[in-house]
Structure 1
């Protein structure tokens, strides 16, 4: 009875392995593909065998525990996998998320992808503690997983678990990393496939993702010589915070998918090197946890996604203020989520729809229920009202005209960003927007009461210098710090900052400057932008 399902699982494993290995830069890519293929088939056999020998008496839905909780079999759980009848299991308890799915902060898709199964590992990787307790009234517990079946689940290891463990055992010390690209190259083998798909991919054809980095390769320096550059100072200050280099940690969600400590590891690395961090609204660790791990005086900004229910936004802002957030960073470019095609494809190949399954005709929901589609410039005042005295930054600006409007409506800063190429495909790269600001609105540059930040595509110290030459106050990096923490925890983050500081110092000396405020457009050739 398991022959056809097992064959499908093995085929899915081979497809996933081929796709995963084909894009790998690791020298062991082909060997990894073979291991994944064999392991996927083996895992399917194990899963089938496990199910076959589970006590069938447990199908009796009337069984209850001594505490009065209904006992639910994995077979019954597996029947509730679609919208309208959606259950997930976490830590042995089964929750009905059918109604909550429509307002789930992380969106409907991830619940559908994990409906009808045990999601404990994923849940703890992407959610702060006490998340379930926070939503108890909205997410009813309908029972507990059969204890015997739960024990079997706990004892199982997947082929992916084995692959990651093998990669970690062979990982060299962090001092052998010589550039930020190394962190990405080695993190790939350390991450679950779904995590790599989430972190690394962009929207649609990934044109915006590619151009974010490519534009830096078309901007050239005009170095000056015969200058005294013996003493170089890479430090700067923005939003009242001193920083060892003009770089900060940009907000990125779900850091816990690759690093058990999640954003806490990044906080420790940022604190050790004296740079600023912005925590994502959808971080794996809470602002309270991150602040507890921070050094004395270390400041943490907090990113905000405005909710259509402004009462929820008010509560979230006030909670962040109470937790000690330094500033509020409104993300404005996610009124709906971009179609992240490569991520979808990787996940679909790993978990394909069964052969012969009819077309799903359920109405597609293109919006994102937790994000407001009715945002306006007046929201700057709304945030400021509930976070009095804190800097308010607008993130996700993709046109120079909106930089001018943000300044007009009282924002303390903007972040030129296309969300790492994950939203609107072929949205202008942030460096092009910064170039346009120089041409069309130079009056908003270098103001004491208004900062311009940039994130997206920055991978070297010279990229940082190019942005500063065009008037950026500082630049944010997201993915490189995720990858650094995935492989080496806080030491990896610290190493990444060391590399950037070295590259910035060398670049400044070769340009002929000793302070970041000496940088300007006269040091660039932008004719090929």
Structure 2
């Protein structure tokens, strides 16, 4: 019994991010020099922090309240370990997949992130071009600083449109129709924001959209002004316009105004997953809004398997939140995700190196996923199974009997 308890303790200690950070601090770790070659996605965050005004960096980087979930979104991945298989011919690795019938080069897509021209003058244009070059999907935020028409003008590509439901349903209908006309292929309905989470960094910074930028999808619509607030322009805007009465019946209502498939973004429980199926959703995105809404919810990777089991293969389940490595992508796929979406890595790389940075992030994650697949003995995404990972709740399976 003592040996078992000792094994548990040592495993927890060795996997602890605090333990790793302690080692770094003991060695007097330094930030990488600015001319150092970027070797992983995380390094872009420090570059972005150095380049961006504090108000903008904090808006992109911070989470809600105590930011426990923000940290947990990353830490939870470190508590999932691999069970690699060996002596398998992995000379050829196929990472292609389909999402809602659209073939993409890899199960790594771009999540909706607001106001990207705060990060770089090219903003959503750069992100759209990078996604297209990588052969994957970009999701455009309702609160973009480039309109659906402008993003469509960047050239071919598979693009989804993220939607909030506003009190004025005529506005919603206009946005959906414009996305359809611009060639967008799906609607990503965000459902976890009946009210905006308390983001204290934005309150302290009195966040407002810089005056030279506008929310392009709303130009010409009577939706109020961003500057009527005493804390955050965005908070005032969203709180005043997003419909707090939004319910599952509105998912059905959306289906009456568009033929586009609807992905429900913000599901974290089996109960809501089953309701999404009943409402006719085409897919689910397990998301906690980048830890920007309700603090102390689980990391999305911890909530994923519950949702996958509830769905029972009736529709695809995707994940966003905390993905920074190809190993993270593999773990999500092993736990049942059909693909993942990245948000902050796009914003930070965009701030650091523009379109080239976003391209590099997508390429680095692709290369890391390919390497992880090879070292785990998987030649295609279909060969990635639950047996390739072990989690905290698998302990009875992996601990020896004494």
1:6-45 equivalences under 5 Å are 27=31
- One of 228, 245, 252 as aligned partner of 2:89: 228
- One of 302, 306, 310 as aligned partner of 1:432: 302
Preserved contact between residue 337 and residue 366 of structure 1 (Cα < 8 Å): no
Q: Could you say what secondary structure the match of 2:239 adopts?
A: coil
Distance, in Å, in 2 between the alignment partners of 1:343 and 1:517 is 42
The residue aligned with 2:319 is: 454
- The Cα shift of 1:401 comes to 1.2
Q: Could you say what secondary structure the match of 1:263 adopts?
A: helix
The residue aligned with 1:318 is: 177
- The Cα shift of 1:464 comes to 0.4
1:485/1:279 CA distance change after superposition, 3 Å: same
1:197 equivalenced with 2:68 (yes/no): no
- One of 244, 248, 253 as aligned partner of 1:373: 244
1:466 equivalenced with 2:331 (yes/no): yes
The residue aligned with 1:478 is: 343
The residue aligned with 2:276 is: 406
The residue aligned with 1:259 is: 120
Deviations 1:488-527 (A, max 9, x none): 1111111111101110011001111100111111111012
- The Cα shift of 1:430 comes to 1.2
The residue aligned with 1:81 is: none
Q: Could you say what secondary structure the match of 1:378 adopts?
A: helix
Distance, in Å, in 2 between the alignment partners of 1:209 and 1:435 is 19
The residue aligned with 1:299 is: 158
1:320/1:367 CA distance change after superposition, 3 Å: closer
Q: Could you say what secondary structure the match of 1:293 adopts?
A: coil
Q: Could you say what secondary structure the match of 1:458 adopts?
A: coil
Preserved contact between residue 397 and residue 415 of structure 1 (Cα < 8 Å): yes
Deviations 1:112-147 (A, max 9, x none): xxxxxxxxxxxxxxxxxxxxxxxxxxxxxxxxxxxx
TM-score (norm. length: structure 2): 0.81
Give the number of aligned pairs. Answer: 340
Distance, in Å, in 2 between the alignment partners of 1:290 and 1:171 is 31
Deviations 1:462-491 (A, max 9, x none): 000000011101000001011111111111
Q: Could you say what secondary structure the match of 2:305 adopts?
A: helix
- The Cα shift of 1:342 comes to 2.7
- Structure 1, unmatched stretches of 5+, are 1-24, 29-169, 349-359
- One of 106, 129, 134 as aligned partner of 1:268: 129
1:497/1:365 CA distance change after superposition, 3 Å: closer
Preserved contact between residue 307 and residue 313 of structure 1 (Cα < 8 Å): yes
Distance, in Å, in 2 between the alignment partners of 1:410 and 1:522 is 31
Preserved contact between residue 117 and residue 145 of structure 2 (Cα < 8 Å): yes
Preserved contact between residue 140 and residue 148 of structure 2 (Cα < 8 Å): yes
Distance, in Å, in 2 between the alignment partners of 1:528 and 1:491 is 40
Deviations 1:35-60 (A, max 9, x none): xxxxxxxxxxxxxxxxxxxxxxxxxx
1:280-359 equivalences under 5 Å are 280-295=141-156, 298-347=157-206
The residue aligned with 1:395 is: 265
Distance, in Å, in 1 between the alignment partners of 2:245 and 2:30 is 45
Distance, in Å, in 2 between the alignment partners of 1:473 and 1:393 is 13
Distance, in Å, in 2 between the alignment partners of 1:393 and 1:380 is 10
Preserved contact between residue 324 and residue 345 of structure 2 (Cα < 8 Å): yes
The residue aligned with 2:225 is: none
Preserved contact between residue 148 and residue 179 of structure 2 (Cα < 8 Å): yes
Distance, in Å, in 2 between the alignment partners of 1:437 and 1:265 is 33
- The Cα shift of 1:318 comes to 1.4
Greater relative CO (CA pairs within 8 A, separation 6+): 2
Deviant stretches of 4+, over 3 Å: 25-28, 170-173, 364-367
1:248 equivalenced with 2:113 (yes/no): no
Preserved contact between residue 59 and residue 201 of structure 2 (Cα < 8 Å): no
1:413-428 equivalences under 5 Å are 413-428=283-298
Preserved contact between residue 466 and residue 524 of structure 1 (Cα < 8 Å): yes
Distance, in Å, in 2 between the alignment partners of 1:366 and 1:328 is 21
1:347/1:180 CA distance change after superposition, 3 Å: same
1:205/1:316 CA distance change after superposition, 3 Å: same
Distance, in Å, in 2 between the alignment partners of 1:264 and 1:503 is 26
- Structure 2, unmatched stretches of 5+, are 1-28, 208-229, 395-402
- The Cα shift of 1:286 comes to 0.7
Could you say what the CA RMSD is over the residues aligned between the two structures, in angstroms? 2.1
- The Cα shift of 1:299 comes to 1.3
Preserved contact between residue 288 and residue 294 of structure 2 (Cα < 8 Å): yes
- The Cα shift of 1:345 comes to 2.7
